[in-house]
Amino acid sequence: MSSISLIANDPSRFDPLSLDQLQATADYEGIDRVVGLPDLHAGNGIAVGAAFWSRNRIWPHLVGSDIGCGMSLWETTSPLRKFRLGTVERKLQGLDAPWSGNGQAALTEAGLPPELASPALGTIGGGNHFVELQRIEVVADEARFAALGLRHDRVWMMVHSGSRGLGQAVLQAHRQLEISRGIPAKSTEATAYLAQHDAALGWAVVNRQIIAKRFCESLGIDGRKVLDICHNSVSPHQGGWLHRKGAAPADRGLVTIPGSRGDFSYLVEPIADNADKALHSLAHGAGRKWSRKDAHARLSRRFNIADMQRTALGSHVICEDRRLIFEEAPHAYKDIGMVIADLEGAGLIRVIAKLRPLLSYKTRAT
């Protein structure tokens, strides 16, 4: 049985089901270390918001079906003073349709097989994926913010998406009858999985880049990528294999940690000195408080669609899926401020800036 470390000022806040799921994974033969991060919550059999390290085995289902899912953060050329919500909402059209660009060329340029191009490339997808336009609310570290060449007076954009159906296909191809056993890391099966995993991860990076490009083109602006990180992956780490399931990397530079669509997001810098205590991983967001089913059941009785299209922070929401708008409501998520406080309390991050949502885009009706 491997050791479990929980990163939280008050571990009693964790959902017991998520802890049970974490323990079940810790009991796998070959799992050596497990970390539950402050956004830990129950998933589809596997706790989300966790990192798992093994000396010599790989588990595809610990990465899951959305390989390479992650966040990119962009500073746009749009002056904040010219941002008009109504105008922006009207311009964001046609973004759920397949991208009209050359997907094969985009993948080839990224060193990926062109045959992986599909109509999904350049689209956000469903679930908790989104594009959010934001503004800088507070700069916590002015010196570092300035040193990075960042600007207060611009509209910012966060993109959350992954490998769409490609990651699901990779998982299906390597699904195990007995998932607890994993795959020996030196086996031909592991080599085949890792090659497909890495391609899906690269595809997800290209996907986020194309999504950002499409949104900028719709608004007639440009953007500069500040960071791109993935939170569903497996990678070599300290002589073994580190699986991140809903866990941002603390060894890839700057990280953005989003709240719900009605809460702040944070631009943070990992603190290397303490990173090993959390397997060089960080929370990837606020983490769910309610399941999607529970969120819909609780909120659809209390609120109407119009209520869901505005948030307590004054931001707007474009989500024309009548079920999804309730499933992904801010109420269904934990307090991002507490997640950040837990990471700071553990000495894992320093906050550079806090960002306020202006408009969250999920999907238009098709």
Summarised one tens digit per residue, pLDDT across range 200-224 is 999 999 999 999 999 999 999 999 9
Q: Do the annotations mark residue 132 as ligand-binding? A: yes
Please name every residue paired with 71 in a beta bridge, in sequence order, or none if there are none: 160, 229
Q: Is 48 helix (H, G, I), strand (E, B) or coil?
A: strand
Please list, in sequence order, all residues whose beta carbon lies within 8 angstroms of the beta carbon of residue 143, skipping any fewer than 6 positions away.
Answer: none
Q: In the beta sheet, which residues pair with residue 359?
A: 133, 316
Going by C-alpha positions, the residue among 176, 157, 165 that lies closest to residue 204 is 165
**Which tokens belong to 330?**
């801010």
Residue 61 in marked binding region: no
For 31-76, what is each residue's pLDDT tens digit? Answer: 999 999 999 999 999 999 999 999 999 999 999 999 999 999 999 9
Residue 131 annotated as binding site: yes
**In a 3-state reduction of DSSP, which class is residue 218?**
helix
Strand pairing class (31-41; 316-319):
unpaired
Mean pLDDT, range 148-156, rounded to an integer: 97
DSSP string, 119-177: TTTT---STT-EEEEEEEEEES-HHHHHHTT--TTEEEEEEEE--THHHHHHHHHT--S
Other residues' Cβ atoms within 10 Å of the Cβ of residue 90: 9
* Residue 265 known to bind ligand: yes
Chain mean pLDDT for the chain: 97
Q: Is 284 a catalytic residue?
A: yes
What percent of the chain shows pLDDT beyond 90? 97
Residue 99: CA atoms inside 13 Å, Cβ hemisphere, count? 25
Structural contact between residues 228 and 71, judged by C-beta atoms closer than 8 angstroms: yes
Taking residue 184's Cβ as centre, other Cβ atoms within 10 Å add up to 13
pLDDT value at position 3?
Answer: 82
CA angle 249–254–256, rounded 5-degree value:
80
What single letter denotes the amino acid at residue 249? P
Instruction: Render pLDDT for 227-279 as a digit per residue (tens, 0 to 9).
Output: 999 999 999 999 999 999 999 999 999 999 999 999 999 999 999 999 999 99
Tell me how far CA of residue 204 lies from CA of 201, 235, 286, 363, in angstroms: 5, 16, 21, 18
pTM above 0.95, yes or no: yes
Please give the domain boundaries of the chain with CATH numbers for all domains: 3-363 (3.90.1860.10)
Cβ neighbours, 10 Å, residue 253: 12
Furthest C-alpha separation in the chain: 57
The answer to whether 74 and 156 are in contact (CB under 8 A) is: yes
Local structure of 253: helix, strand or coil: coil
Which residue in the list 41, 174, 243, 284 is annotated as catalytic? 284
216 phi/psi in degrees, rounded to 5: -65, -45
Residue 327 has pLDDT above 70, yes or no: yes
> Is 102 known as a binding-site position?
no
Exposure on the CB side of residue 242, measured as CA atoms within 13 A: 21
Is 278 labeled as ligand-binding? no
Residue 120, helix vs strand vs coil: coil
CA torsion angle for 237, 239, 245, 246 (degrees, to 10)?
Answer: -20
Between CA 198 and CA 204 the distance in angstroms is 10
